[in-house]
Structure 1
């Protein structure tokens, strides 16, 4: 089945990772499911859960 118009395989993968990060805030799960690095998993989790990101004062 072809992808919907305007959707790329890369875009679909990004969407799936972000969706999983929204549902489950476990970086190890993201790393195992999608074969991504710890840094990449944390970037997705930060994007999915900005309220959990600690901001240090400057």
Structure 2
């Protein structure tokens, strides 16, 4: 997982650590990378994850 993807996922690092399937980890990293490559700012993605976690939103199955 690249440093830029890991930085975006920092707010949910505890959830990412619970993923026991390498395919799913790669899928998560690819999706975050795809969003970054499409022009979505890393800070915006980071903020969205942080806000959803603080609000208690169900982030779904890792």
Query: TM tier, shorter chain?
Result: 0.3 to 0.5
> As a proportion of its length, which structure holds more helix?
2
State the TM-score, normalized to the length of structure 2. 0.36
For the pair shown, the structure with the greater C-alpha radius of gyration is: 1
**Structure with greater contact order relative to length (CA < 8 Å, sep ≥ 6):** 2
